[in-house]
Structure 1
Amino acid sequence: MSHIVVIGAGQAGASLSAKLRGLGFDGRITLLGAEDAPPYQRPPLSKKYLLGEMDKERLFLRPESFYADQDITLRKGCAVAAIHPQDKYVSLADGERLDYDQLALTTGSDPIRLPASIGGDLAGVFTVRDLRDVDAMAPYFTAGKRVLIVGGGYIGLEAAAVAAQRGLKVVLVEMAERILQRVACAETSAYFRALHGAHGVDIREGTGLTRLSGAGHVSGAELSDGSALEIDFAVVGVGIRPCTDLAEAAGIEIENGIKVNSLGQTCDPSIWAAGDCASFAHEGAVLRLESVPNAIDMAECVAQNMMGADQPYVPVPWFWSDQYDVKLQIAGLNSGYDRVITRRGDKEGALSFWYYRADRLLAVDAANDPRAYMVGKRLIDAGKSPDPALIDAPDTDLKSLLK
C-alpha cells in the first residue's frame, strides 16, 4: 500500500493531508507534528487568543477526531531526525524508521530570535509563533506592565495593539526608517503609525535595540539612540526563517526556502514542499509567500500533483492583519511599485492604497474598506489594470471597474 508521509502539522500539512483523502487517495497518510496540539490556526494567536477572546479548542483547524475518521495517522510531539532520500525513509528522534513512497515537507518557518550576546536568552523575552510562545507570554499582558516590542512589521504591530488594548505601556522600536517598510508603502505605514499613536503606543522608527539587560530576567533595554528603558518583558518580531534544515541535510536544493518547481516538486521527484518553507519561481523572481492562503492553496495543489494532476501552482496572494478595530486586507504583491494612489472609502476611516507600476495594478491595501479590497482582488486575479486616474477620482464607482 502506498504511503505518503507529511512532515509539519501546520496549516499546509493539515490541508495537504485532508485534500489527499478528498481526492480519493486510499493509501496510508502519516502527518508528523512537532507540537503536542493538533493542527491549529496561527493568525489568532497574536490577536483574539492573546486577548482571551478565543479558547484553545477554537484554534484547532478540525476536531482531533477528524484525522482518525479520515484514516490520517496524526503523530503529535513527533520530532524528525533526518530524511534519507536514497532509501526513501524518515528517521524519528526516538530511532523509529518510517518508509515512504512520497514525502511532503510542510515544515513552515521559525521566528528570528535575538542573539544571546545582546540578552536574547533572558527570561521574559518572547517571540510570537506558536501556542507555547503565546501561553508563556499571556500572563505578562496585564495593565500597567511595560513592554518593549522589537520590530515594526505586522507581528510586532499586532502584539503592540493587544498590549495597548490591555492597558500596558508600549514602546515599539523599528530599525528601518519606518514601520512596515519591507512590506508596505509609506502611506500604509503612516496610517498605522497614526493608529497606534492614537492608542498611546510610543513608536520609535530608525531606532534599533543595542541590548537587553537583567539579572536572569529582562528588566531593561538600551536603544541605538542612546536612550534606556525599564521594561517588564519584550516581544521580538523581526522576521521569520523557513525551516529548511531537514531538507538541506538530505541534499534537497535550497533557494530562499525549499526550492520547488511549478508543481511543488523538489529536486527529488518523490519529495514535495508547500507553504512558508517552499520557494518557487513567479514572474521572474523566486518567491516565498508567508500567509495562510498560500499555505492552503499551495498544499492543495501539491496534493493534486502527488495524485498525478500535473497542475502548475499559480499563486493568488492575499493577506490580512487585525489591529484594534481596523482590518487591513491586502491583495496582490507590491514588488516594484512606482506609484501609490490613496482612495477614501464610503465609510468614515476607510482608506485604500493602490499600488501601480506604470499603468499596471500590482496590489491593494484596504483598511476597513472591504469593497476596495474585493474589487482590487478581482481585478488583480483577472489581470486587469484600470486607469490610475479612475482610482484617483472620488466619484468612480469601483464596482464599475469590474465590467
Structure 2
Amino acid sequence: MAAPARVVIVGSGMAGATAAGALREQGFDGEVVLFGQERHLPYELPALSKDVLLGNADEPVRVHDEGFYADKDIDLRTGTAVEEIDAAERTVRDSEGREQPYDRLLLATGSRPRSLSVPGSELAGLHKLRTIDDSLALRGEFREGRRVVIAGAGWIGCEVAAAARSHGASVTVVDPVPLPLLGVLGESMAEVFRRLHVEHDVNWRLGVGVAGFGGSDAVESVRLADGTELPADLVVLGVGAAPRLELAERAGLALTREVPGGGVAVDATLRTSVPEIFAIGDIAAPEHPVHGRIRVEHWANALDQGKHVAANLLGEEQPWRRSPYFFTDQYDLGMEYRGLADPRSDELVVRGDPSAREFIAFWLRDGRVQAAMNVNLWDDGEALDALVGGQVQVEAAQLRSADDLGALVG
C-alpha cells in the first residue's frame, strides 16, 4: 500500500489529538486534518471528575498547547463533525457539507454517557459528565446542603460522590449492584471503596435501581424500584458510556459484539475491516495477545493507542500489546490498576493492609498475574507493569512476602 499524502482524523479527544501529534513526530510531512465536534481545543477527560469538579482547576489539561497545531501544520477543525464516510471513494462529508478526501482515515469518535429510560428523564436537573462544560455546570450545583442523588456506583459515580461531598453536598448513590465497582474489583476490594465513602457520609442505596424521577419542571425526587422516594435537588447519571459507533456502522465497517457495548473490530495493528481505515480509543476493540478481544474506555488507552497507531497509518504493522491501565483519586485514596482480571474466578492476593488503605491487590489466573491494583503505594509501578505485561509465573506467597517485587520478574 502506497504511503499516504493525506490523513484525516475524526475525533479530537485524547486519542485523535495524540495521533495527530504522533504523525508529525514520526516525520510525516503530508496533510493532517483533525475534526472535533467540540469548540474547545482538544483536552484530557480525567480532570473533569477530579480537579475541575473539586474546584482545584477551571480548565482541563490540554492534549497540546494552543500553538501546537499551527506550529505542526495540523489542520484542526473544532466545532465540526464528520457525518458520513464513503469508503469506496475515500472521502468524508463534514457537518458543513464539505467533502474531504483521505488516503488514511483514523476514527477516534469516543463515547457518550448513557441515559436512563424511565419516567421523568426529561426533567431539568439531570446531569451527565462528559465535557468540560458538563463539569463546570455540575460543580456550580455542588454546595452545602444540596441533595445530590447519583445513579451509578462505578468509577464516575464514586468520583462525583467524593467531589460533591468535598463541597458539602448531601450525597446518595443508587445502583442495582450490591457493592460499588463490584464487576471490576470483586467483593472484598469493592468493600474497601464502600467503606471509604461511608466514612465520608455518603449514603448508599445498593441492590435497587432507579424507577423514575419526580418533579414538575425540574427534578425534585428519585423513585426507586422498591417504592422509596429520595428527595433530590439534582441528579447525576453515572450509568456508563456507549461507544459512538454510528459513523463506523454506516460506513460498513465490521463491528463486534464480543465486548460490552460493542465496538469497531480492529486487528492487532488497529486496522479496521477496510484497509485504509483505522480505529482507536473508546470505539476500538482490538484482539489483545493476553486478554483476547477487549475495548477499553480509559485515558491511558486513548493516549497510548494514539501514539501507537501513527506508525501503522504510515505503513508499518506494529501490533498493539499494552495492557489496560487506569487510575482514580477519591478523598485521600489514590489508586492505579493495571491489566484486566475477572474477579469472579481469578485468585485474589493482597499484599499490605486494606483496612489502612495501603496495599497492593493482585489477581492470578493459572499462576500468572492478570491485574494489579496499588492503593496509596507508589514505589512498585515498574514491577507491576512487568508482572502484568509479562504474564509472569509467580506464587501467591511470593507476592505477599517478597521484599522486592521487581525480583519476581526475573
Q: TM-score range by the shorter chain?
A: over 0.9
Aligned counterpart in structure 2 of residue 42 of structure 1, from 45, 49, 74: 45
Structure 1 position 388, deviation (Å)? 0.5
Residues 73 and 146 of structure 1, relative CA distance in 2, 3 Å threshold: same
In 1, Cα distance between the equivalents of 2:354 and 2:129?
35
Pairwise CA distance, 1:302: 1.4
Aligned-CA RMSD value:
1.8
- The residue that corresponds to 1:53 in the other structure is 56
Match status 1:387 vs 2:390: no
Stretches of structure 1 lacking an aligned partner (at least 5 in a row): none
1:316 aligns with 2:323: yes
**Structure 2 counterpart SS, 1:136:** helix
User: How do 1:292-311 residues align onto structure 2 when only pairs under 5 Å count?
Assistant: 292-311=299-318
Whichever residue aligns with residue 318 of structure 2, its letter is Q
Partner of residue 275, structure 1: 281
3-state SS in 2 of match to 1:113: coil
Aligned to 2:95: 93
Asked if the contact 2:285/2:294 (under 8 Å) is kept, the reply is: yes
Preserved contact between residue 8 and residue 32 of structure 2 (Cα < 8 Å): yes
Q: Distance in 2 between matches of 1:185 and 1:374?
A: 25
Shift of 1:11: 0.4
Would the alpha carbon gap of residues 183 and 348 (structure 1) be closer, same or farther in structure 2, given more than 3 Å must change?
Answer: closer
Aligned to 1:365: 373
Describe how 1:1-400 pairs up with structure 2 within 5 A.
Answer: 2-56=5-59, 58-115=60-117, 117-255=118-256, 256-282=262-288, 283=290, 285-335=292-342, 337-344=345-352, 349-393=357-401, 396-400=403-407
Give the 3 Å change call, closer, same or farther, for CA 398–312 of structure 1 in structure 2: closer
Deviations 1:222-256 (A, max 9, x none): 11222111110011111111111001011111112
Q: Is the 8 A contact 1:35 1:78 kept in 2?
A: yes
Aligned residues between the structures:
400
CA contact (8 A) 1:188 1:365 kept: no
Deviation per residue, 1:303-335 (Å, 9 max, x gap): 111111211111222110111111111011113
What secondary structure sits across from 1:319 in the alignment?
A: strand
Shift of 1:167: 0.8
Aligned AA (2:348):
V
1:353 positional shift: 1.4
TM-score, normalised to structure 1, is 0.95
Q: Is the 8 A contact 1:152 1:237 kept in 2?
A: yes
% identical aligned pairs: 35
TM-score (norm. length: structure 2): 0.93
Task: State the 1:149 CA deviation.
Answer: 0.6
Q: Deviations over 1:146-205 (max 9, x none)?
A: 000111100100000001111110000111122112211212211000100000000121
Q: Which amino acid aligns with 1:14?
A: A
State whether residues 152 and 179 of structure 1, in contact with CA within 8 Å, keep that contact through their aligned partners in structure 2: yes
The alpha carbon displacement at 1:346 in A equals 11
**Aligned 8 A contact 2:192 2:355 in 1:** no
- 2:9 partner SS: strand
Q: Is the Cα contact below 8 Å between 1:127 and 1:237 reproduced in 2?
A: yes
**Which deviates more, 191-200 or 82-91?**
82-91
Change (3 A) 1:159 1:85: same
SS for the counterpart of 1:303 is: helix
Mapped partners of 1:185, 1:378: distance in 2:
23
